[in-house]
Amino acid sequence: MAHWWKKWTVWEFLPWWLANVPVYGMYGWFALRARHVFFFSNVNPTIPLGGAVGESKHQILQLIPAHIKPKTVLAPAGVPVGRIAEMLEQAGMRFPVIAKPDVGERGFLVQKFAHAGDLCRYLDHFRVAFLIQEFLTLPIEMTVLFHRYPDSSRFEITSVCIKEFLSVTGDGISTVRRLMARTSRASFQLDRFERDFPELLERVPGLGERVLLEPIGNHARGTKFLNGNHLIDSELKSVFRQVCGQIDGVMYGRFDLKCASVAALRRGEFQVMELNGVFGEPAHVYDPAYGMWRAYRDFYRHWQILFTLHRAQLRAGIRPTPIRAGWQIIRQYLRYKKQMEARQLAKKAYL
């Protein structure tokens, strides 16, 4: 099957906006039942709009226990270039690092940097607040989606996803470009690599040599998502229940984390890169073997969980974000996203 055809027919590769058409209907059904457009926002009252859009990653990280967070600094918009190196040194951080917008989604503008000069040019171009985070070398990256109830009587993990990073294996003859063109997952990334990493595409890996193409575990960047729900048991729930008990005002969320092994995860030895709010998806559904109908079943289940938590919060006296305030947050985020996309298109000016 031609790669272009797979992009429009295979569930895993469907464009995000198209794959979510049925999900919009699910949301509409529960919003109608709740009689509130932003009913989900009271599920996580300490995060603006519950963590749907426009939230500050830095502010959310402050809610997480310090011992499970990587070293991170917030570089304000327009920070002087000389100040960035100073901030990293004060935090005890070394290159490589990961830079991500303080406000963003789905890996938007997230980039790995090995040198201070490249990082400074990047921040100077976009001129918005960025989180700079140490690049964790722990070998396993996962997501863990949880929810709990206000009376603390129930705690559940409903999704575990294991990420497999985009890579190619050399045959001693072909360039990286030719190796990428042979698989749908990698070929969909070729335009981005032509723009950002053209020199890598000309490299000829040795026979059996594995070349890591993308160190950032984002589905839109070619990372394969694998269903890890078989790992959910009482031991794993106990570990995350203790962590979540230290995070006030977050009833539903998804940890993006790294760990050395599954055994280490069960011991509570992991590092949380991000905590996503109410729109944190059950990422295991993007496993190539999972299937579209099972995925939509799980999406419905998670919207049902959000609705149930919304009603539980109402009984506790916690109301959703007023509609006018919610639309203001969304409009502000959309203006911000439009500006950043325009600057992204012009980024050849500083490369």
CB 205 within 8 A of CB 250: no
Asked if pLDDT for residue 52 goes beyond 70, the answer is: yes
Please name the residue that has the structure tokens 């959310």: 60
Asked if pLDDT for residue 16 goes beyond 90, the answer is: no
pLDDT of residue 349: 45
Asked if pLDDT for residue 70 goes beyond 70, the answer is: yes
CB 63 within 8 A of CB 250: yes
Within 60-154, strands assigned E span 72-75, 97-101, 111-113, 130-134, 140-148
| Low-confidence winner among 31-45, 98-112, 225-239 (lowest mean pLDDT) | 98-112
Q: Residue 334: pLDDT band by 50, 70, 90 thresholds?
A: very high
Query: How many Cβ atoms from other residues are within 10 Å of residue 350's Cβ?
Result: 13
CB under 8 Å to 251, separation ≥6 — which residues? 43, 44, 147, 148, 149, 150, 309, 313
pLDDT of residue 347: 63
Q: How far is CA 270 from CA 140, 218, 241, 258, in A?
A: 10, 19, 14, 6
pLDDT of residue 350: 44
Q: Residue 345: pLDDT band by 50, 70, 90 thresholds?
A: confident
Nearest alpha carbon to residue 37 among 328, 284, 338: 328
Please name the residue that has the structure tokens 């509570």: 268
Structure tokens belonging to residue 272: 């949380």
Please name the residue that has the structure tokens 């790992």: 231
Q: How far apart are CA 177 and CA 168, in angstroms?
A: 10
Chain centre to alpha carbon of residue 280: 8
Query: How many Cβ atoms from other residues are within 10 Å of residue 332's Cβ?
Result: 13
Asked if pLDDT for residue 108 goes beyond 90, the answer is: no
Chain centre to alpha carbon of residue 218: 6
pLDDT of residue 104: 85
Q: How far is CA 99 from CA 2, 119, 123, in A?
A: 35, 8, 9
pLDDT of residue 57: 95
Please give the average per-residue pLDDT across 41-46, as a whole number. 97
Per-residue pLDDT of 259-270, as tens digits, reads 999 999 999 999
pLDDT of residue 29: 98
pLDDT of residue 198: 93
Specify the pTM. 0.93
Asked if pLDDT for residue 5 goes beyond 70, the answer is: yes
Q: How far apart are CA 181 and CA 35, in angstroms?
A: 49
Structure tokens belonging to residue 94: 């070394």
Asked if pLDDT for residue 303 goes beyond 50, the answer is: yes
Please give the average per-residue pLDDT across 229-240, as a whole number. 97
| Low-confidence winner among 8-12, 65-69, 121-125 (lowest mean pLDDT) | 8-12
Q: How many CA atoms lie within 13 A of 72 on its CB side?
A: 25
Structural domains in the chain, sorted by start? 1-70+136-165+214-321 (no CATH), 71-135 (3.30.1490.20), 171-209 (no CATH)
pLDDT of residue 2: 65
Residue percentage of the chain with pLDDT more than 90: 80
Q: Residue 351: pLDDT band by 50, 70, 90 thresholds?
A: very low
Nearest alpha carbon to residue 107 among 200, 226, 257, 223: 223
Q: How far apart are CA 281 and CA 299, in angstroms?
A: 8
| Low-confidence winner among 20-24, 106-110, 234-238, 262-266 (lowest mean pLDDT) | 106-110
Instruction: List 133's β-bridge partners, or say none.
Output: 72, 98
Asked if pLDDT for residue 61 goes beyond 80, the answer is: yes
Residue percentage of the chain with pLDDT more than 70: 98
Q: Which residue has the higher pLDDT, 73 or 196?
A: 73
- DSSP class of residue 101? E
pLDDT of residue 252: 98
Q: How far apart are CA 278 and CA 161, in angstroms?
A: 17
Any idea what the Cα angle at residue 214 is, between residues 209 and 220, rounded to 5°?
A: 135
pLDDT of residue 179: 97
Asked if pLDDT for residue 67 goes beyond 50, the answer is: yes
Q: How far apart are CA 270 and CA 261, in angstroms?
A: 9
CB 44 within 8 A of CB 250: yes
Q: How far apart are CA 112 and CA 110, in angstroms?
A: 7
pLDDT of residue 106: 80
Q: What is the mean pLDDT of the chain?
A: 93
Please give the backbone phi and psi of residue 338, each rounded to the nearest 5 degrees, phi first: -65, -40
Q: How far apart are CA 247 and CA 264, in angstroms?
A: 21
CB 223 within 8 A of CB 186: no
pLDDT of residue 340: 87
